[in-house]
Structure 1
Amino acid sequence: MAMFVFLIALFLFIFLPIIYMLSTPGDLSLLLDREVVDAFKTTLSAGVVATLIALIFGIPTGYILARHDFKFKSFIEAILDLPMAIPHSVIGIIILSFIYGIDVIKFIGKYVVDNFWGIVVVYLFVGIPFMVNSIRDGFLSVDEEIEYVSRTLGASKIRTFFEISLPLIKNNIISGIILSFARGISEVGAILIIAYYPKTVPVLIYERFTSFGLNASKPISVGMILISLMLFAVLRMFGNIKRGKDA
């Protein structure tokens, strides 16, 4: 019973502010404002592009980390996880310093700073650890004996990978996609430094709050909450499917 008290207290700590926000959203007509609509389009489209790039690189990276031991592997894994620990504003400084600190890539600055692709770069930087970890854990959960059997039956490594290994981690891939996407679109600190324009939803919420106060930022915040709830509802759904199959 004592443990249930802690559980309920923690649940209410998160649930009550969210449910209050959803029950008092303010003037939802503000969501139809052109600037707000454009911010949602920018945020979601940049999130999709960054997530696709993370997926393309995350699958082979996750497979290598799961299936092979090599020198400096632990160091590489630590570096790939590092964006989760770095303060958000520091990530912006890191990316900006790197671009303008190396002469041969300074020209990239005009495509990144205050540019749609700058948002994509930030989303990718903060989201890639979630993609790689989810996919790596998926491959670790696949019994290598299954792959060996496929090989003994004449299938090549490539065919085994695409027809055996990859389908078995479908739910991990979906989890990685959702977590990477969600982490990206929630970023604000690094975006303020790298690409204030075009505005993303978190940046617009910050701007509306500092300029006009709580009531002006609440409806847009509710929109982001609803998107987050949908993403994690899908994540939980696939998680339950996976547990059902395992059972």
Structure 2
Amino acid sequence: MEKLDILMSIFLIIIFLFIFLPIIYMLTHPGNLGVLLDNEVIDAFKTTLLAGAVATLIALIFGIPTGYILARYDFKFKNFVEAVLDLPMAIPHSVIGILILSFIYGVDVIKFIGNYVVDNFFGIVIVYLFVGIPFMVNSIRDGFLNVDEEIEYVSRTLGASKVRTFFEISLPLIKNNIISGVILSFARGISEVGALLIIAYYPKTVPVLILERFMSFGLNASKPISAGMIVVSIILFAILRMLRKQRIKNTG
């Protein structure tokens, strides 16, 4: 190997171990896994996964047409729209909680929904949707950008309507992008904690419960739940990696 290749390999190994070693240590030293059978922990996992599923479904419903418009049309202020849609990825988590809460209570006509958001399941869904929608939109947009428009034109010239072409030609071709968007949006949502501490501390999600256990009882009390969350994350991203490899294989 060339010296440059060796140097690059060293950097790769260092960054790999930086991520891998803490994860593998946690999984091999999770503490008392019996904690995962506590009703509070089980309820937290149920709340987290259900809210994540609801938020991801909403993101998918809005993400498909949004991604299609951004991929197929040029319009005034398009760059601004795309920048705004990406902003949740850059805004600090606690700021997200503050801005959502400020908007709800600052706009008179929607103040009433505060009762359904603050310390409520739907508050969790709103936060998950806010932080997860950019991943859904970007993944779907990139999928439509990779679909050759000539295929759609041929379908139209053969008599298919635009709606039929969309559902029978375009949408199936971005299946892997949709699945990737779903996984990324879901994963981003269920990992959120900062905004939830401000908007919906209750019902507790897993990240909030982990933080609470750590602050109240210390490291050992939070380790088993953290290990469980790591397993969920690994499963999600293992599926994502397999889908990406399948997409590359199909493309090649």
Instruction: State the TM-score bracket (shorter-chain normalisation).
Output: over 0.9
Are 2:127 and 1:105 equivalent residues in the alignment? no
Are 2:132 and 1:127 equivalent residues in the alignment? yes
Aligned match of 2:92 in 87, 105, 126?
A: 87
1:91 partner amino acid: I
Structure 1 counterpart of 2:202: 197
With the length of structure 1 as denominator, give the TM-score of the two structures. Answer: 1.00
2:192 partner amino acid: E
Structure 2 counterpart of 1:78: 83
Are 2:177 and 1:172 equivalent residues in the alignment? yes
Deviations 1:167-216 (A, max 9, x none): 00000000000000000000000000000000000000000000000000
1:201 partner amino acid: V
Are 2:119 and 1:114 equivalent residues in the alignment? yes
Are 2:31 and 1:26 equivalent residues in the alignment? yes
2:43 partner amino acid: D
Are 2:159 and 1:154 equivalent residues in the alignment? yes
Instruction: Report deviation, 1:141.
Output: 0.3
Aligned match of 2:190 in 185, 194, 197?
A: 185
Structure 2 counterpart of 1:42: 47
C-alpha separation in 2, matches of 1:4 and 1:196: 44
C-alpha separation in 2, matches of 1:201 and 1:219: 11
How high is the sequence identity, in percent, across the aligned residues? 81
C-alpha separation in 2, matches of 1:35 and 1:66: 44
1:245 partner amino acid: N
2:180 partner amino acid: S
C-alpha separation in 1, matches of 2:162 and 2:108: 42
Structure 2 counterpart of 1:219: 224
Instruction: Report deviation, 1:83.
Output: 0.2
Instruction: Report deviation, 1:106.
Output: 0.3
The count of corresponding residues between Structure 1 and Structure 2 is 247
Aligned counterparts, 1:5-24, within 5 A: 5-24=10-29
SS at match of 2:183: helix
Instruction: Report deviation, 1:17.
Output: 0.5
Instruction: Report deviation, 1:70.
Output: 0.3
With the length of structure 2 as denominator, give the TM-score of the two structures. Answer: 0.98
C-alpha separation in 2, matches of 1:190 and 1:15: 27
Are 2:44 and 1:59 equivalent residues in the alignment? no
Instruction: Report deviation, 1:144.
Output: 0.3
Deviations 1:14-65 (A, max 9, x none): 0001000100000000000000000000000000000000000000000000
Give the CA RMSD over aligned residues: 0.3
Structure 1 unaligned runs (5+)? none
Deviations 1:88-140 (A, max 9, x none): 00000000000000111000000000000000000000000000000000000
Aligned counterparts, 1:126-145, within 5 A: 126-145=131-150
C-alpha separation in 1, matches of 2:111 and 2:250: 50
**Runs of 4+ with >4 A deviation:** none
